[in-house]
């Protein structure tokens, strides 16, 4: 049986999406993205050069699908304007929608996020909103036309992993659109857990960019996402509060 990952009619072979901020150098960024096997990379429209220089991030990653984001926006109005600029500059209608409500925790402003999602969908965007790990909010975003929902594993850049696995699992079971766990992934085991809970994909940045060896960690994340998806499809055994022998108890020597 095929296990396809499809967003807005586009089939992607990799379930790992990678951010491009904070790498030690452009060369390490390029190598990490290549090793990760990802097809989609996120870029902040406020941090990239659009002048077409040889060292420009856009040129460096020209063979990948660019997913511009609205990082730093605090209102629906600002996010919509940023999305329009991104579509004009990068010639893509895909947008990772971020509307931040608190500068310390970087938690989303849910009311502004919903408002921006509805408006951008009406404007023809493929909207992937970054949101709280709230099953009700995720359903409302999907109802508003989001092509995928991107609940946080934990706070952006925290490395705390999946803080509320029960919430993520519930979102994955009910969501009519792909679920991409975004933010908080710290190492490969966190990505495995996210995928085992039923996520369609994982988006991460800091875990790779700020590791001691970003290229090596990018490869680890590639395999983590793949193995986590396979484990989810295979199905884990039930948890038990007692031991259960794996070998038959009949016919033991001496019995």
Mean pLDDT across the stretch 213-225? 97
pTM of the model: 0.89
| Residue 1 pLDDT greater than 90, yes or no | no
Work out whether strand 180-182 and strand 150-151 pair parallel, antiparallel, or are unpaired: unpaired
Task: Give me the percent of the chain exceeding a pLDDT of 90.
Answer: 74
CA dist 51 to 48, 83, 88, 195, 218, Å?
9, 19, 14, 38, 28
pLDDT at 251 over 80: no
pLDDT at 128 over 90: yes
Please give the pLDDT value at position 247.
65
pLDDT digit string, tens, across residues 176-203 = 999 999 999 999 999 999 999 999 999 9
pLDDT tens-digit map of 15-71? 999 999 889 999 999 999 999 999 999 998 765 555 544 447 777 888 899 999 999
Distance in Å from the first CA to the final CA of the chain:
46
Question: Over 70: is that where the pLDDT of 129 sits?
Answer: yes
Residues annotated as catalytic (active site), given as ranges: 96
Measured distance CA(39)–CA(89) in Å, rounded = 20
The pLDDT > 70 percentage for the chain reads: 92
Torsion of CA 117, 123, 124, 130, to 10 degrees: -20
Domains in the chain, CATH or no CATH each? 14-234 (3.20.20.70)
Query: Widest CA span of the chain, in angstroms?
Result: 81
What pLDDT score does 82 carry?
A: 94
Quote the pLDDT of residue 54.
Answer: 40
Hey, which bits of the chain come out as E strands? 5-7, 10-12, 16-19, 40-44, 65-69, 94-97, 126-131, 150-151, 180-182, 201-204
Is-contact 132 151, C-beta < 8 A?
yes
- The reported pLDDT for the residue numbered 55 is 47
Task: Write down the residue that tokens 């509307």 correspond to.
Answer: 99
**pLDDT value for 53:** 42
Residue 106 banded pLDDT, cuts 50, 70, 90? confident
pLDDT at residue 45, as a whole number: 77
pLDDT tens, 65-98? 999 999 989 999 999 999 999 999 889 999 999 9
Of residues 55 and 232, more confidently modeled = 232
Q: What is the mean pLDDT of residues 163-184?
A: 95
Q: Please provide the average confidence, as pLDDT, over all residues in the chain.
A: 90
Tens of pLDDT along 130-153? 999 999 999 999 999 999 999 999
């Amino acid at each position: 049986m095929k296990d396809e990952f499809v967003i807005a009619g586009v089939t992607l072979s990799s379930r790992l999406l990678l951010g491009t901020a904070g790498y030690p150098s452009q060369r390490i960024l390029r190598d990490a993205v290549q090793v990760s096997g990802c097809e989609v990379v996120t870029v902040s429209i406020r941090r990239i050069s659009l002048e077409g220089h040889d060292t420009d991030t856009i040129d460096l990653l020209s063979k990948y699908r660019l997913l511009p984001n609205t990082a730093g926006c605090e209102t629906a109005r600002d996010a919509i304007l940023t999305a329009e600029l991104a579509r004009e500059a990068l010639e893509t209608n895909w947008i990772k929608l971020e509307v931040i409500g608190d500068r310390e925790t970087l938690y989303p402003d849910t009311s502004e996020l919903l408002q921006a999602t509805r408006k951008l969908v009406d404007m023809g965007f493929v909207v992937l909103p970054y949101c709280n790990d709230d099953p009700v909010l995720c359903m409302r975003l999907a109802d508003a036309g989001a092509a995928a929902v991107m609940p946080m594993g934990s706070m952006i850049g925290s490395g705390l992993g999946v803080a509320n696995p029960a919430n993520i699992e519930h979102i994955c079971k009910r969501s009519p659109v792909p679920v991409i766990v975004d933010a908080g992934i710290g190492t490969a085991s966190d990505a495995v857990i996210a995928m085992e809970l039923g996520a369609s994909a994982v988006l991460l940045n800091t875990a790779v960019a700020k590791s001691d060896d970003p290229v090596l960690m990018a490869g680890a994340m590639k395999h983590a996402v793949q193995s986590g998806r396979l484990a989810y499809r295979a199905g884990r055994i039930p948890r038990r509060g007692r031991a259960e022998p794996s070998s038959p108890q009949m016919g033991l020597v001496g019995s």
